[in-house]
Each structure stands twice: as C-alpha cells, then as structure tokens.
Amino acid sequence: MKHCSFVRCILPTAILFLSPLAAQQSSRPMDASESAQNPEMVRLAKALVGDWNTTETMERGKFFPSGGSRRGIVHVRLASGGNALMYEVHSNGSAGELDGFLTIWWDRGSHLYYLFACFNDPNHPCRMRGTAHWVGEAFVNEYEATVEGRKTKWQDTFTFAPDSHTLAAAVDLGNGATKRIITTTATRR
C-alpha cells in the first residue's frame, strides 16, 4: 500500500468538503447590517433589499401612445462586500418585456450614488444612468437620455412605505416642469 501524504489524500478531501460550504457562503445574500462600514449603502439597502412583486403603469402619450402595463418581480441584494446594490427586474405585459438590472453604489469622493443600468434593449443594452441622492425620504436618480436626437433630462424617484416602494419615472419638460411617464409599485413578497 502506498503512503498517503497530506497533499495526495487529505488536501483533496478537505477541498471537496469545504468547496460547497465556501460556495454557499459566497452566494448567500447580504443584509443591510453586513455593510455597516458604509452608512449610505446601509440606508439604501434597508429601503430596497428583498424580493418584490411589481405592477408598472405607462401613461398615454408620446412614449406609450396606447398606455400600457407590466407585472413582474424585482430581486434586490447587496454585492461587492456591501459596496454595491443590485436591483434585478423581470416583467412583462402590454408594454412589452422588461428584463435587466441596475447597479447602484456610493462614491465617497463626490458624495453621490452612481447608477449603471442594463436592459433588454439590443441597440443600447447598458449605460451609465446618472447620479442619485436622497431628498428627504425619497431616493432620486437624475440622468439624461437621447429622445428624438436630443439629450433629455429624466428623473426616477423612489418613495417608500414599510412593505412597498413606488418608482416614478418622469421626463423634464423644461422650465422645471416634469411629466410622469411610468409608475412602478413594488410590494414585498
């Protein structure tokens, strides 16, 4: 019988035993308390982390001539050691399928949140989605998008209740006026 060395026998067994445990720990979602080193991310995580059922309503107008709606789910979790929040969306309805995610992180140097978005748009699947900040208890994302060949200002505003949140997407009409285009209501699952 051959001699069983640490490297030949014990190390492979230990790797086989510990690998599922390590994989389980690394895929476990973080909760808001695990990112305590970053209070700005803690605040955002407390408001959004979890699983949500969503209902979207599109206003009749230039962007949705017949109006529209979608129903779906959102899964929100912390990533990157609590330094980023992943907001994953899956919904479908008369307004078409929406599949994608937002990544939100706090930038200490600028004292702003930054957003990166990817959606199922084959022409422009991913892009930076501006900056965000808190206005009282509302979380406001401001960004620009090209509409009919010109840059247009947009604003997404999240408002919160204990077991729900609402996301209002609005376009800037100029002179400080905005028009709500989409309202998404999310209820905790």
pLDDT, one tens digit for every residue, the chain (189 residues): 455 443 344 433 333 333 343 334 334 444 544 544 689 999 999 999 999 999 999 999 999 999 999 999 999 999 999 999 999 999 999 999 999 999 999 999 999 999 999 999 988 899 999 999 999 999 999 999 988 888 999 999 999 999 999 999 999 988 889 999 999 999 999
In this predicted structure, what is the pLDDT of residue 67? Answer: 95
The answer to whether residue 8 is domain-embedded is no
Of 145, 143, 146, 147, the C-alpha closest to 157 is 143
The answer to whether residue 159 is domain-embedded is yes
Can you give the CATH number for the domain in which 103 is found?
A: 2.40.128.20
In this predicted structure, what is the pLDDT of residue 88? Answer: 98
pTM of the predicted structure, to 2 decimals? 0.80
In this predicted structure, what is the pLDDT of residue 31? Answer: 52
In this predicted structure, what is the pLDDT of residue 175? Answer: 82
The answer to whether residue 70 is domain-embedded is yes
The answer to whether residue 49 is domain-embedded is yes
Torsion on CA atoms 112, 113, 118, 121, rounded to nearest 10: -50
In this predicted structure, what is the pLDDT of residue 146? Answer: 87
The answer to whether residue 146 is domain-embedded is yes
Task: Residue 78: count other Cβ atoms within 10 Å of its Cβ.
Answer: 23
The answer to whether residue 3 is domain-embedded is no
In this predicted structure, what is the pLDDT of residue 37? Answer: 67
Residue 63's domain spans which residues? 30-188
The answer to whether residue 102 is domain-embedded is yes
Q: How many domains does the chain have?
A: 1
The answer to whether residue 12 is domain-embedded is no
Of 100, 105, 94, the C-alpha closest to 124 is 100
